[in-house]
Structure 1
Amino acid sequence: MKNIVFFLHLFIVSNLCSQENVYNLKNGFIAEGYDVVAYFENKAVKGIKQFTTDFDGVKFQFSSNENLATFKKNPTKYIPQYGGFCAYAIGKNGEKVSINPKTFEIREGKLYLFYNSWGTNTLEMWQKEDPNKLQKKADENWKKIVKN
């Protein structure tokens, strides 16, 4: 049942997302406005409007001026993989699916975000289904998505 709900959601969200948008900008920000630097401290922290910046044409929000400054020193380090879409969905089906910004993983110094709603936690699925294989497949699928 979990997979049916997930794939139904996947279908709906993927049809709502423009193929031309390679960033998940729900709420107008990457990671729904969560602080991408804080993830690297193993924290999911909502950013505040006082600490925002643009990079690569998209908005990022931070929880502190220190994290904003850290981001500005090396922004590409902190950008979520696959434009901030669900890493599991990109790897499994090559589909752009929204995320729950509180569900994440730092793997080999990179940020991966995941869908987690309606009893479906794709981070758990990612971890059970061989994350290395899914990551490689997601990398391949993402290259195709970005080209289109």
Structure 2
Amino acid sequence: MKSFKNLLQLAVLLIATATVSFAAKSPSQHAPAVGGYDLVSYQQMSGPVHGSKSLMSKYHGSVYIFANEANLAMFEANPEKYLPAYDGYCAYGVAIGKKLETDPTVYDVVDGQLYLNYNSEVKVKWAADKQANIEKADANWSKLM
């Protein structure tokens, strides 16, 4: 009986540990995407600014926040126009066949499309030949999705 009790305690401990571990790694459904930056602001002269959690829009399972009502309305009217390329993964990373996280303050807008990069050093590589990197990333993206 004692070994059954020990086995049961071990099972409960393992389940609890797995649950805590999973919860710690799972992003909240309410955590804003793109580091909480207003996607529309990337397209504006001011550049990226943080949004307000009182101005939220959910699109394809991600939550985006906006700095003002006008930006929220523009996003909701045409979300695809403002979404970052490659689901927000590093544009240079996708060009070299890798999914890398990004720093939302390291970006470029090319022909109205937002491209994020891992860091400033990677952005220098990206900027060395943007058009070629976009072509490579576009070709690689379907394999990485």
Whether TM-score is above 0.5 comes out as yes
Q: Is structure 2 residue 83 aligned with structure 1 residue 79?
A: yes
Offset at residue 115 of structure 1 (A): 1.2
Opposite residue 99 of structure 2, the aligned amino acid is: K
Offset at residue 104 of structure 1 (A): 0.8
CA distance in 1, matches of 2:143, 2:99: 12
| 1:34 and 1:61 in contact (8 A); partners too | yes
SS state at 1:28 partner: coil
In structure 2, the partner of 1:56 is 60
Offset at residue 110 of structure 1 (A): 0.5
Offset at residue 126 of structure 1 (A): 0.7
Larger radius of gyration: 2
Opposite residue 139 of structure 2, the aligned amino acid is: E
Identity of aligned residues (%): 35
SS state at 1:121 partner: helix
| 1:114 and 1:121 in contact (8 A); partners too | no
Offset at residue 112 of structure 1 (A): 0.4
Taking a change above 3 Å as real, the CA distance of residues 95 and 28 of structure 1, as seen in their structure-2 partners, is: farther
SS state at 2:39 partner: coil
CA distance in 2, matches of 1:124, 1:30: 24
CA distance in 2, matches of 1:28, 1:145: 24
Q: Once superposed, what is the RMSD of the aligned Cα atoms?
A: 1.9
In structure 2, the partner of 1:95 is 98
CA distance in 2, matches of 1:102, 1:44: 7
Opposite residue 84 of structure 2, the aligned amino acid is: P
In structure 2, the partner of 1:16 is none
Offset at residue 28 of structure 1 (A): 2.8
CA distance in 2, matches of 1:107, 1:39: 11
Offset at residue 33 of structure 1 (A): 1.2
SS state at 1:61 partner: strand
CA distance in 2, matches of 1:87, 1:29: 20
| TM-score normalised per structure 1 | 0.73
Offset at residue 123 of structure 1 (A): 1.4
Opposite residue 114 of structure 1, the aligned amino acid is: N
Opposite residue 110 of structure 2, the aligned amino acid is: R
| TM-score normalised per structure 2 | 0.75
In structure 2, the partner of 1:10 is none
Instruction: Give the number of equivalent residue pairs.
Output: 117
